[in-house]
Amino acid sequence: MTQTAPPPAPPALKRTPLYQVHLHLGARMVPFGGWEMPVQYPTGVLAEHHAVRERAGLFDIGHMGQLRFEGPDAREFLQWITTNDVARLEVGAAQYSLLCNEAGGILDDVIVYRLAETRYMMVVNAANTDSDQAWIEQQLQRPGRGVQPERVAFERLSPPRTLLALQGPRSLEVLQRLTPVPLGSLRYYHALESTVAAVPTAIARTGYTGERGYELSFDGAQAVHVWHALLEAGKDVGVIPCGLGARDTLRLEAGMALYSHELTVETNPYEAGLERVVHLEKGEFVGAAALRAIHAAGPTRRLVGIELLGPGVLRPEYPILEHATGGAVIGRLTSGAPSPTLRKSIGMGYVPLQFATPGTEVGVEIRGRPHAARVVTLPFYRRATAAASEQPRKAG
């Protein structure tokens, strides 16, 4: 009798430098993107969500990947691997962008920061960090646009670097107490290098919540110190720790895509509504030929917002139906949840173009029964003071 070998054990989950702090605070930990992360604290998702909308919340986003590109050809190499136009970045500016394969499929959505004349940082999604790094290294072996590989220094910064996000209308007030540089003049999608709680930090005015906020990159060895300093600085205004649960409802209300939900290798930028970050005019880049063809033909489906018109809860993978009372399945929800701010159930999903017009009534199948829903314009929520140049974009 032959004995079969037991299946290999799944890889151990990674932990951020704040893992023990989360346990001490009573956080419920869950697997996410290969990491063990806090989904909520004893305060609960609703309280954490409202804290960010009304005051400020502090997130550990140390699971996100951080990459560095430096050297005389760093800009042109980033032009080769990303869809946006890196040449538009002044020192201190950032841009949302995509990594696409040769077929135009989305490998990841990223943020590129120009921190110095020839030094850039890229923040990528946690679950994609290893594959992104391997793909970038492969591209660096035979890059286009005349890039000479020896003129580009590429390295992974995380670990040891980590990330925190302070998000909410009072985030400026709180963070200013811990840094010597005036943050009031730091524009949306811009960054600077200074200190926070005396720790050297790259401070970016970006976020994933639809509120004013900041993302902080620094040495993970100082994570516990900076975390406690931020909570103490914001104690009088009600800053609380927030987990992945609130992060998800906040980004959904803001209409921000989540990789592996709205964005996958099977989706392209045009159907995802991200044509604004594809600059075909900049010349050649990975996937450019395919994206030109997709652009010329036009997408056959579109990512839309969907709101439920009656009671019920929208969840990912629920079928989208052609009529409020049923009919054929025309798509599936990529995200869905009750909106704490809007007090209705909302979701996103891809539908054929003829169903993508805001106001179109559709159905969503919930537990085998059709429920009336409506296609709406994204984002679902926009903070009242946001300028036109500050519309929510994925950032974190």
Q: Determine the pLDDT at residue 8.
A: 72
d(C-alpha 325, C-alpha 328), whole Å: 10
What is residue 93's DSSP assignment?
Answer: B
Question: Does position 179 have pLDDT exceeding 70, yes or no?
Answer: yes
Q: Check residue 3 and give its pLDDT.
A: 63
Residues 6+ positions from 349 with CB-CB distance below 8 Å: 303, 304, 306, 320, 331, 332, 333, 334, 335
> Which amino acid does the sequence have at 228?
H
Nearest to 124 by CA among 183, 64, 59: 64
d(CA 313, CA 300): 28
For 84, which DSSP code? S
List domains and CATH numbers for the chain: 19-62+160-253 (3.30.1360.120), 65-156 (3.30.70.1400), 300-376 (2.40.30.110)
Please determine, for residue 325, whether its predicted confidence score (pLDDT) is greater than 60. Answer: yes
pLDDT tens column, 331-368: 999 999 999 999 999 999 999 999 999 999 999 999 99
| Residue 392 confidence (pLDDT) above 70 | no
CB 99 within 8 A of CB 107: yes
Q: Report residue 248 as tokens.
A: 């998800």
Instruction: List, for residues 203-219, the tens digit of each pLDDT value.
Output: 999 999 999 999 999 99
* Interstrand relation of 161-167 and 191-196 (parallel, antiparallel or unpaired): unpaired
SS3 at position 157: coil
Beta-carbon count within 10 A of 153 CB: 14
Q: What does the block give as tokens for 183? A: 């943050």
One DSSP character per residue, 315-337 reads: -TTPEEEEETTEEEEEEEEEEEE
Contact 233/216 with Cβ under 8 angstroms? no
Q: What distance in Å separates the CA atoms of residue 203 and residue 218, rounded to the nearest whole number?
A: 9
Alpha carbons 115 and 121: distance in angstroms, whole number:
7
* Rounded mean pLDDT, 55-72: 98
- Express each pLDDT in 359-382 by its tens digit: 999 999 999 999 999 999 999 999
Average pLDDT for 87-108: 98
**How many degrees, rounded to 5, is the angle at CA 25 between CA 20 and CA 27?**
85
Please check whether residue 110 is in contact with residue 97, taking contact to mean a CB–CB distance below 8 angstroms. yes
The position carrying tokens 């072996």 is: 141
Q: Put the strands of the sheet holding 94-100 in their side by side order.
A: 94-100, 106-116, 119-124, 65-70, 153-156
Cβ count within 10 A of residue 359: 8
Structure tokens at 120: 């850039």
Residue 120: strand pairing partners: 69, 114
Model confidence pLDDT, tens digit, residues 292-322: 999 999 999 999 999 999 999 999 999 999 9
Residue 246, H or E segment: helix 244-253
Greater pLDDT, 38 or 12: 38
pLDDT digits (tens, 9 = 90+) for 242-298: 999 999 999 999 999 999 999 999 999 999 999 999 999 999 999 999 999 999 999
What sign does the CA torsion over 381, 236, 30, 21 have? positive
Whether pLDDT at 395 is above 60: no
Q: Write the CB contacts of 379 (distance below 8 Å, at least 6 apart in sequence).
A: 210, 253, 254, 255, 256, 305, 391, 392
Mean pLDDT rounded to a whole number for the chain: 95
Other Cβ atoms within 10 Å of 40 Cβ, number: 22
Contacts with 39 (C-beta within 8 Å, 6 or more apart), sequence order = 27, 28, 29, 30, 32, 45, 243, 244, 245
CA proximity to 111, closest of 277, 231, 272, 264: 277
Centre a 10 Å sphere on the Cβ of residue 253 and count the other Cβ atoms it contains.
23
pLDDT in the model for residue 385: 66
